[in-house]
Amino acid sequence: MVVSSAPGKVYLFGEHAVVYGEPAVPCAIERRARVTVEERDDDALRVQATDLSLDGFTVEYSGESSDRPDIDVPESLVDAAIGYVDAAAAQARDAADRPDAGFDITIESEIPLGAGLGSSAAVVVAGIDAGTRELGVELSAREIAERAYRVEHDVQDGQASRADTFCSAVGGAVRIEGDDCHAIRDVPNLPFVIGYDGGAGDTGELVAGVRALKDEYDFAADTVSAIGDVVRQGERALQAGDLEELGQLMDFNHGLLEALGVSSRSLDEMVWAARESDALGAKLTGAGGGGCIVALDESEEARTALSYTPGCEETFRAELDTDGVRVEEGA
First-last CA distance in the chain: 9
The fold of 2-185 is Ribosomal Protein S5; domain 2 (3.30.230)
Burial class (CB in 10 A: 0-12, 13-18, 19+), 255: middle
Rounded-to-integer distance, Cα 147 and Cα 139, Å: 10
In this prediction, residue 56 carries a pLDDT of 40
In this prediction, residue 155 carries a pLDDT of 79
Judged against a pLDDT cut of 90, whether residue 81 lies above it is answered with no
CATH superfamily entry for domain 192-318 = GHMP kinase, C-terminal domain (3.30.70.890)
Q: Is 54 helix (H, G, I), strand (E, B) or coil?
A: coil
Judged against a pLDDT cut of 70, whether residue 190 lies above it is answered with yes
Common-topology check for domains 2-185 and 192-318 = no
Q: Is 183 helix (H, G, I), strand (E, B) or coil?
A: strand
Model confidence at 77, in pLDDT bands (50, 70, 90)?
low
Nearest to 9 by CA among 321, 330, 329: 321
Active site residue 164: yes
Judged against a pLDDT cut of 90, whether residue 304 lies above it is answered with yes
Interval 7-56: pLDDT, tens: 999 999 999 999 899 999 999 999 999 999 999 999 888 888 765 543 44
Contact in structure between 105 and 2 (CB atoms under 8 Å): no
pTM for the full model? 0.86
In this prediction, residue 262 carries a pLDDT of 95
In this prediction, residue 270 carries a pLDDT of 97
Among candidate residues 129, 164, 251, 297, the one labeled active-site is 164
In this prediction, residue 79 carries a pLDDT of 60
For the chain, give every domain's residue range. 2-185, 192-318
